[in-house]
Every structure is written in C-alpha cells, then in structure tokens.
C-alpha cells in the first residue's frame, strides 16, 4: 500500500518514517519538498504518488508565535489541511489527519471524549479545529482525525529536550504545575497511526496519547530523574512548581487536556504504555544518538 506523509521532517514525520511497517510503501515529504499551503503543489504530489492513504503530519506548531501570526497558522493548519483533503478526494485516498488536545478549553476534570465540544482558547487550537472540520467535511467517512497531546521525540524540538538543556545549565528551574495533560512519545503515536492506516473501517475522530496524567512540573521532575538514572545529566537542578500566572506566555493553554482513549484502544487493539515508560525509552534512544 502506498502512503504519502506530509511534514516528513517534523517530530512525528520522522517517527512515521522509522516505524513504517513492512508492506507499506511510505513516501514522506518535508516542507521544502511539499508546502501544503500550495494547493496546486499538493494536487501534483498526490497525482504523482497516487497514495491509498495520506497522513498529514505537517502543521504550524508554534503555539505562542501563532498569536502574532494567525494568518500563517490558519494557512497551514486549516487551509493546508483542506488542500490535502481535496487532493485525497480526487484520487479516492483516505486521509489520517493529526490534531491536538489544544482544541479543548480545559474546563473538564475528566478525560475529553472524541465528541466533546471543542472550544479552543488560542489561535493555534482554533486553526487546528478549523482544519479538523475541513477534513471531516470534505472527506466524510474517508477522513480520520487523530488528536494527541504533549508530543516529544528524540528528533526535533520539544519540552524534553528544552528541559534537558536547561537542566545542564541552571541550578533552579520553575515549571508550571497547574496544567495537566499526557506526555506522548511520537514514536508510539506513529505506531498507532500505522494501525489506523491498516484498518479501512477507521473513520471519524480518535484520541491517542500515552497513558496516565501529569503536570508540566511532574513531567520535568520525571525528565530529571530518568535522565539522571541513564547518565544523560551530570547535575540535578532544583525544580520548583509554579502557577500558570507566574509564567506569562502569549497563548492561553487548557488547564486540563487529558484525552479519553477507550474507543481507540478497543478499535486498534493496542494499549499505550504509561508516559513514564515511554519517556525512558525515548531517553535510551537519546543516549544512543549522543554517544
């Protein structure tokens, strides 16, 4: 089966390349090879590769910067997604479109269900929600929207790598402790996406993240602890919990964005590991890369 992956050099795009199962012929295009905001280029690429399935891993992911460049965020996350959906329809391909927990406002205190009403707080979340709607409207049952949360990987920029470099250079780090979600290793998400690709009956909205719940503070403490155990850090700075108000940023974030995954677990017949377990696996990999 031929699969076209957009955003091939992002964290998820790279993990999709590394985890592509046997029997799937994946072509992953980076942003310089395919700009999804260019409808003609998207059409040409789809006509050239004739995929049965497209995975859209391309996105504008700079949550705070999006507040000052909304046009760019919407162009990629909404118009770009719609371009891919239209091109998919023209060759009868399915589309697996990746979205985010930031489509929710965080007012719930139990995991968000796939059909809970999205109420995004910032430009990034709003542009991603618009992309979801476009994809589902254009492709109907040929679209799968997979929402995920707090992604990291050994490749690309993310919270784990930022924390590790701060921990190497500082004696004290202050981290927000009143926002809860689930850290997710992009490698595990990529494996779940391949499972979705292999299930033609999968359609509609799915949630996928690692298991468990954490605050950014819990996540930072686990990074320090596991990195210390694995010899990735020589020092262990003090980590202090702070409130959202003490760390002003441009974009408002949901206070709680844990995703309910029961349906996905049943349909895909896979259970995501606890986030700490996957964090350990990612750090093993990081150690290998740094050697």
Ligand X SMILES: NC(=O)c1ccc[n+]([C@@H]2O[C@H](COP(=O)([O-])OP(=O)(O)OC[C@H]3O[C@@H](n4cnc5c(N)ncnc54)[C@H](OP(=O)(O)O)[C@@H]3O)[C@@H](O)[C@H]2O)c1
Q: Is 6 in the site for ligand X (CB under 6 A)?
A: yes
Counting DSSP H helices and E strands in the chain, the numbers are: 10, 12
Q: Is 120 in the site for ligand X (CB under 6 A)?
A: no
Q: Tell me the pairing of strands 25-29 and 2-6.
A: parallel
Closest CB 235 distance from ligand X, rounded Å: 26
Q: Is 36 in the site for ligand X (CB under 6 A)?
A: yes
Considering only 80, 254, 272, 280, the residue that binds ligand X (CB under 6 A) is 80
Closest CB 255 distance from ligand X, rounded Å: 16
Closest CB 11 distance from ligand X, rounded Å: 4
Confirm if 82 and 134 have CB atoms less than 8 A apart.
yes
- Of 195 and 228, CB closest to ligand X: 195
Stretch that binds ligand X, among 108-116, 145-153, 191-199, 257-265 (CB under 6 A): 145-153
Q: Is 7 in the site for ligand X (CB under 6 A)?
A: yes
Q: Is 264 in the site for ligand X (CB under 6 A)?
A: no
From residue 91, give the alpha-carbon distance in Å to each of 6, 52, 245.
Answer: 16, 8, 49
Q: Is 128 in the site for ligand X (CB under 6 A)?
A: yes
Host H or E run for residue 239 = strand 238-242
Closest CB 14 distance from ligand X, rounded Å: 8
- Of 35 and 105, CB closest to ligand X: 35
Q: Is 19 in the site for ligand X (CB under 6 A)?
A: no
Q: So which residues are the catalytic ones?
A: 124
Q: Is 257 in the site for ligand X (CB under 6 A)?
A: no
Q: How many residues bind ligand X (CB under 6 A)?
A: 28
Considering only 28, 98, 139, 192, the residue that binds ligand X (CB under 6 A) is 98
Instruction: Give the 3-state secondary structure of the chain.
Output: CEEEEECCCCHHHHHHHHHCCCCCEEEEECCCCCCCCCHHHHHHHHHHHCCCEEEECCCCCCCCHHHCCHHHHHHHHHHHHHHHHHHHHHCCCEEEEEEEHHHCCCCCCCCECCCCCCCCCCHHHHHHHHHHHHHHHHHHHHEEEEEECCEECCCCCCHHHHHHHHHHHCCEEEEECCCEECCEEHHHHHHHHHHHHHCCCCCEEEECCCECCEEHHHHHHHHHHHHHHCCCCCCCCEEEEECHHHCCCCCCCCCECCECCHHHHHHHCCCCCEHHHHHHHHHHHHHHHHC
Q: Is 156 in the site for ligand X (CB under 6 A)?
A: yes
Stretch that binds ligand X, among 9-17, 44-52, 82-90, 195-203 (CB under 6 A): 9-17
- Of 35 and 142, CB closest to ligand X: 35
Q: Is 179 in the site for ligand X (CB under 6 A)?
A: no
Q: Is 43 in the site for ligand X (CB under 6 A)?
A: no
147 φ/ψ angles, rounded to the nearest 5 degrees: -90, 140
Stretch that binds ligand X, among 29-37, 86-94, 231-239, 241-249 (CB under 6 A): 29-37
Considering only 4, 5, 11, 221, the residue that binds ligand X (CB under 6 A) is 11
Residues that bind ligand X (CB under 6 A): 6-7, 9-13, 31, 34-37, 57-61, 76, 80, 98, 100-101, 128, 148-151, 156
């Amino acid at each position: 089966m031929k699969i076209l992956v957009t955003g091939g050099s992002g964290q998820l795009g790279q993990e999709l390349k590394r985890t592509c199962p046997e029997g799937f012929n994946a072509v992953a295009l980076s942003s310089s090879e395919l700009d999804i905001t260019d409808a003609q280029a998207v059409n040409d690429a789809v006509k050239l590769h004739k995929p049965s399935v497209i995975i859209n891993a391309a996105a504008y992911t700079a949550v705070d910067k999006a507040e000052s460049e909304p046009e760019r965020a919407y162009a990629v996350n909404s118009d770009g997604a719609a371009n891919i959906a239209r091109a998919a329809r023209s060759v009868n391909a399915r589309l697996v479109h990746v979205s985010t927990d930031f489509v929710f406002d965080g007012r719930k205190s139990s995991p968000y269900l796939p059909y809970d009403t999205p109420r995004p707080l910032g430009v990034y979340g709003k542009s991603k929600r618009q992309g979801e709607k476009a994809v589902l409207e254009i492709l109907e049952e040929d679209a799968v929207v997979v929402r995920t949360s707090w992604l990291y990987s050994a490749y690309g920029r993310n919270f784990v790598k930022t924390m590790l470099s701060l921990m190497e250079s500082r004696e004290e780090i202050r981290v927000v402790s009143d926002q809860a979600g689930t850290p997710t290793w992009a490698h595990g998400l990529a494996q779940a996406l391949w499972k979705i690709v292999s299930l033609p009956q999968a359609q509609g909205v799915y949630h996928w993240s690692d298991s468990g719940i954490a605050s950014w503070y819990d996540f930072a403490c686990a990074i320090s602890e596991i990195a210390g155990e694995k010899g990735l850090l020589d020092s262990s700075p003090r980590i202090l919990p702070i409130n959202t108000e003490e760390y002003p940023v441009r974009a408002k974030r949901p206070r709680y964005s844990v995703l309910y995954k029961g349906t996905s677990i049943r349909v895909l017949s896979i259970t995501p590991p606890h986030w700490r377990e996957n964090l350990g696996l990612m750090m093993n990999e990081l150690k290998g890369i740094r050697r």
